[in-house]
Amino acid sequence: MGGDRKVYTLAEVSQHNHAKDCWLVIEGKVYNVTEFLEDHPGGDEVLLKATGKNASDDFKDVGHSSSARAMMDEFYVGDIDTSTVPTQTNYAPPIQPHFEQDKTSYFVAKLLQFLVPLLILGLAFGVHFYTKSSA
């Protein structure tokens, strides 16, 4: 709100990280919640811990009400330069390489585990009958 809509870097916002001067970054916007710390139903501690980073997920995880969202306008001081925020909220599922790999070698190993004892058995029988008939 107000006349000067500013774009801040995360480094700038991060300076305001204590009880007497507390700024938050939520969904691309910068909020000065210093005056709100004492009144926040979730307490000042969580807000102070959410400074210096993208607090969008923290904010969303709580499931804030629409009236909580409406209150935010009051504290809005500007926007964040998103290029200065290291981790975006886009969630990338972890890659599990050992499950995605080619399964051929695993299959061959299983096949051998099954065939080798059979081969040995067959060989033993073969030798047994061969030696018997030739004796």
Residue 58 Cβ vs ligand HEM, minimum distance, rounded to whole Å: 4
Q: How many residues bind ligand HEM (CB under 6 A)?
A: 20
The pair of structure tokens assigned to 8 is 């801040």
Who's near 24: CB < 8 A, 6+ residues apart?
30, 31, 33, 47, 50, 51, 55, 59, 75
The interface region with ligand HEM, picked from 4-12, 55-63, 96-104, 107-115 by CB under 6 A, is: 55-63
CB 57 within 8 A of CB 91: no
Candidates 31, 53, 78, 80; binder of ligand HEM (CB under 6 A) is 31
With CB under 6 A as the contact rule, the residue among 12, 44, 64, 81 that binds ligand HEM is 64
Chain residue whose CB lies nearest ligand HEM = 42
85 binds ligand HEM (CB under 6 A): no
Q: What's the rounded Cα separation, in Å, for the pair 75 and 99? A: 48
The CA–CA distances, whole Å, from 19 to 45, 49, 72, 104 equal 9, 11, 18, 60
| Residues contributing to the site for ligand HEM (CB under 6 A) | 24, 31, 33, 40-42, 46-47, 50, 55, 58-59, 62, 64-65, 67-68, 71-72, 75
